[in-house]
Structure 1
Amino acid sequence: MKIEIWSDVMCPFCYIGKKNFEQALENVAFKNEVEVEWKSFQLDPTLELTETKTTAEYFREKKGFPEEQAKQMTAQVVQMGKASGIDFNFEKALITNTFPAHKLLHLAKKHNKASEMEEELFKAHFLNGENLGSIKFLSNLAEKLGINKDAAVQTLSSDEFDYDVNQDIMEGRNNGVTGVPFFILNGKYAVSGAQPSQVFEEALTQTYNETVKPFKGSSESELSCDTDGCSI
């Protein structure tokens, strides 16, 4: 069963959604039959690649929110994060264009380490205040996960995976994705937002029961036909 997740590493609800989804996945008996594919999405592609802003600066300049209002909003997210095991640190978080981070995610996908990379990028942004637009930092992060550092530098310094990132974003829009996180479950159901783990568990179970389980009882011994003829 395939789960596609559109996400942006600058989105705190994507991190909460990831944690809640993973908890739900641990609770279902068929977890080893689930394939997760992370998809790229950008909440603000207009940000400069070489510029960083604090969370307060971003809310003030981009959203028009005064600092006190921004603090109240982030305080609410901090409480939500604690319930999911995340210690958000918005005072350290640096807002920047996440396109390079998404390119690194696609490189990690080639090495079957997309979920690990997604987690490391979230930690880097929300917990450690790292600059996700820095080639130096991102290439070091790749090396941490066992990905060749020089290959990461090459990826981040070229247009490699630019098409893949943009294709994810376009595919998301074609599927009605206007906000993240957004989950598509085996091509049949969609779950939007950082839902509680119980909601994810129920959605996963329903999808599995409707799209996978009915086909698991078949075997080669049953009456069937193939290109060589029919077995009786």
Structure 2
Amino acid sequence: MKIEIWSDVMCPFCYIGKKNFEQALDQLPFKDEVEVEWKSFQLDPTLQAGETKTTAEYFREKKGFPEEQAKQMTAQVVQMGKALGIDFNFEKALITNTFPAHKILHLAKKHGKSSEMEEELFRAHFLNGENVGNTELLSSIAEKLGITKDEALQTLSSEEFDYDVNQDIMEGRNNGVTGVPYFILNGKYAVSGAQPAALFVEALTQTYNERVEPFKSAKGSDLSCDTDGCSI
């Protein structure tokens, strides 16, 4: 059974959704039959390559939110993260263009390390306040996962995987993906947002038993991010 997940490393609900999904997967007797494929989505492709902003700067300049409102919004996400063992640090997080991060994710997919790379990128961005658009950082993360630094640097300095990233984005658009995280279960069942583990268990089990109609949407709170921001 194949699970496709559209995500962007700058989306806190994508990290929360990943944790909930993994918790659900661990509860399933057929988890070894599940293939997970991470797909690229960019929340803000308009950011200039190499440009970084603090979360407060980004909310103020791009979304028009005053600093106090931004703090209130992120404080809610911090509390949600704590319940899953995620220590979000929005004061350190650097907003940047994530296209290079998606390229390194595709390289990791080639090596069968995409889920591990997703985790490392989320940690770098949300916990460590590192610039996930930085070539040196990305190549170091790749090396940590057993991918040679030379191959990572070659990927980042060339157009390798550019098509793949853009193809993911286009495929998502064709499937109605306007916000992330977005899960398509075996091409039959769509789950949008960082849903609770229990909902994932139900949806995965139903999909495995082939009891759902194509592209029904799972009900639940829509904790997700789109190009206009994150809904809380």
Q: Is TM (by shorter chain) over 0.5?
A: yes
> Which residue in 1 is equivalent to 2:138?
138
* Deviation, structure 1 residue 83: 1.5
| Matched AA of 1:64 | G
Higher Rg:
1
The alignment's C-alpha RMSD in Å is 0.6
For residues 118 and 64 of structure 2, the distance between their equivalents in structure 1, rounded to whole angstroms, comes to 29
What is the number of equivalent residue pairs in this alignment?
211
1:148 equivalenced with 2:148 (yes/no): yes
> Which residue in 1 is equivalent to 2:128?
128
* Deviation, structure 1 residue 180: 0.2
| Matched AA of 2:195 | Q
* Deviation, structure 1 residue 34: 0.2
> Which residue in 2 is equivalent to 1:38?
38
> Which residue in 1 is equivalent to 2:112?
112
| Matched AA of 1:21 | F
| Matched AA of 1:122 | F
> Which residue in 2 is equivalent to 1:173?
173
* Deviation, structure 1 residue 84: 1.8
For residues 100 and 50 of structure 2, the distance between their equivalents in structure 1, rounded to whole angstroms, comes to 11
* Deviation, structure 1 residue 116: 0.2
| Matched AA of 1:185 | L
> Which residue in 2 is equivalent to 1:158?
158
Could you tell me the TM-score, scaled by structure 1's length?
0.90
* Deviation, structure 1 residue 19: 0.2
Superimposed CA distance per residue, residues 137-181 of structure 1 (whole angstroms, 9 cap, x where no aligned partner):
100111000001011001001111000000000000000000000
* Deviation, structure 1 residue 47: 0.6
After the TM superposition, which residues 1-232 of structure 1 pair with which residues of structure 2 at under 5 Å, given as runs?
A: 1-210=1-210
For residues 184 and 145 of structure 1, the distance between their equivalents in structure 2, rounded to whole angstroms, comes to 27
Which runs of 5 or more structure 2 residues have no equivalent in the other structure? 212-232
SS in 2 for 1:90: coil
SS in 1 for 2:121: helix
* Deviation, structure 1 residue 50: 1.1
> Which residue in 2 is equivalent to 1:222?
none
| Matched AA of 1:155 | T
Following TM superposition, the consecutive aligned residue runs of length 4 or more in structure 1 with deviations greater than 6 angstroms are none
SS in 2 for 1:43: coil
